[in-house]
Amino acid sequence: MRADYVIIGAGSAGCAMAYRLAEAGKQVLVIEYGGSDRGPFIQMPAALSYPMNMKRYDWGLKTEPEPHLDGRQLVTPRGKVIGGSSSINGMIYVRGHARDFDHWAEMGAQGWSYADVLPYFKRMEHWHDGGHGGNPDWRGNDGPLHVTRGPRTNPLTRAFVAAGAEAGYPITGDYNGEQQEGFGPFDATIYKGRRWSAASAYLRPALRRPNCNLIRAFARRVIIEDGRATGVEISRGGKTEIIGANTEVIVAASSLNSPKLLMLSGIGPAAHLAEHGIDVISDRPGVGQNLQDHLELYIQQAATKPVTLFSYWNLRGKARIGAEWLLWKTGLGSSNQFESAGFIRSRSGVDYPDIQFHFLPIAVSYDGKVAPEGHGFQAHVGPMRSASRGQVTLRAADPNAPPRIQFNYMSDPQDWADFRTCIRLTREIFAQPAFDPYRGHEIQPGDAAQSDEALDAFIRQHVESAYHPCGTCKMGRADDPMAVVDPQARVIGVDGLRVADSSVFPRITNGNLNAPSIMVGEKVADHVLQRHPLPPANDAPWINPAWETSQR
């Protein structure tokens, strides 16, 4: 089997690239180990806690014991299904802040500033504002990726935004537009009541073309001959085969599996590869380094009125929601329930938001367990730009062995101060008059946890990954020893090989990573096709004029 372009991974970026390359008439072959995304657990937005906990759809990766979190091992779900993690995520759509991309360019990812990437965000989107505000000039209106907003009918969802305003923060009609800072409605990759993943938006239309094919197989390594990637070694049906690439191999296997594939192929830190008996083709010490993520806590409050989603948290309630969704794709099943957002700055002197809130009108955890108190609500909160860095390394030279993942969470002292700030600022928002009709006692951390020490103990035990790993194949200048790919996503030191997924992010973006991952696929496709990039945008984002002297 051969193709012009072989893409490893049918995830967010891989699907976007398959679509754009096939659209341009290239022969494309996509390798994906996972299976179909057709089940109701994936397609029904409200069922989001199921697929990320199902072996069928998730790679089942775990961190090593995290030294600063009492040795806890945290789960790191990654989608093992067409659509990749866009098929098992929370469907939240956040581009990231303009300053994030300007920072990428300053770090050596030339051509990836906000002016450069905004046209790609617009190209990929078909935005539906749902009458909740925002300026359509900042958004795309005919791209393959439908982005919508929930109905926001729950009174708690509206109370959260009102409380943000009462606490002195701005309101924003569209955090993905001119002004991220403030409180307002969430965008989601949901369309006509269903999850609108990268498989729905990009892969299925691409596969309808005769020049794009999908193969179900496990990618073992990239074949490199005389310094050039010529194909991919795969296993399927108990046999090992080689798929040839006439022009390029593109690795889009996630920030956890892409560096693993490069290392198995002889690209990575020479000493580490030698430990595992792998011949070094290109000594790139940055492969697997620079691992970043967002951590978050749930701040949970009991509710004094039965207005939360807990009313439906029983067999009859879930059956009713499921039936309405199956019949009409409407009702509570058609929303991910994350309908109100907040982006704020932790302190004066920070020029753009570094804290994100996801509000939920029920007190529940990602594994689907509700708080014993019953009716409650919560805000997921966490800092956006931790200085802590981890690494992905090989456990063995066997491609079937999972990678070793060490995030080194909370290794920077500032992380602890930032999380304490997050808790205290969330409590202040929940204490506003907008919540007076609904506010019961604080479920967690609980009123007794006030001192720094008590909050640190709570953080150590309860902090969770927001599932936003990135950075392990950093994009940068070709002369940067820690860069893995150049600004056109070409692996430095090997011809005919690129990486295009969240692993190329030089630094984590502000918010959930699905949107910028798809954008990377869109933009890299133009580099692959040797097209001129889309003309830069001149839109200047809103920055709080008082950022130097005030926190809000």
List, by residue number, the catalytic residues.
Answer: 468
Torsions phi, psi of 223, nearest 5?
-85, 125
The secondary element (H helix, E strand) that includes residue 5 is strand 2-8
Question: What is the CA angle 144-148-151, rounded to 5?
Answer: 160
DSSP assignments along 211-228, one per residue: TEEEEE-EEEEEEEETTE
Task: Give the helix/strand (H/E) hosting 4.
Answer: strand 2-8
For 230, the 3-state DSSP assignment is strand
Output the furthest CA–CA distance in the chain (Å, rounded): 70
- Measured between alpha carbons, how far is 220 from 233 in angstroms, rounded to an integer? 5
Contact between residue 345 and residue 367 where contact means Cβ atoms under 8 Å apart:
no
Which stretches of 254-390 are DSSP H helices? 257-264, 270-275, 315-328
d(CA 166, CA 539): 30
281: its two tokens: 């083709």
The C-alpha atoms of residue 508 and residue 48 are separated, in whole angstroms, by 23
Return the H-helix or E-strand segment holding 30.
strand 28-32
Tokens of residue 318, six digits = 């879930």
CA-nearest of 404, 318, 329 to 368 is: 318
Q: Is 303 helix (H, G, I), strand (E, B) or coil?
A: strand
Determine the Cα–Cα distance for residues 85 and 112; give it in Å rounded to an integer.
Answer: 23
31 burial class (0-12, 13-18, 19+ CB within 10 angstroms)? buried
Look at residues 360, 466, 463 and name the one whose alpha carbon lies nearest to residue 418: 463
Query: Rounded to an integer, what distance in angstroms lies between the CA atom of residue 519 and that of residue 509?
Result: 12
Please give the helix or strand (H or E) that residue 504 lies within, else none. Answer: none
Are the C-beta atoms of residues 118 and 129 closer than 8 Å to each other? no
Cis status, amide bond into 445, omega within 30 of 0? yes
Parallel/antiparallel/unpaired status of strands 391-393 and 190-191 = unpaired
Using CA atoms, how far apart are residues 85 and 82, in angstroms rounded to an integer?
9
CA nearest to 89, candidates 38, 53, 122, 128: 53
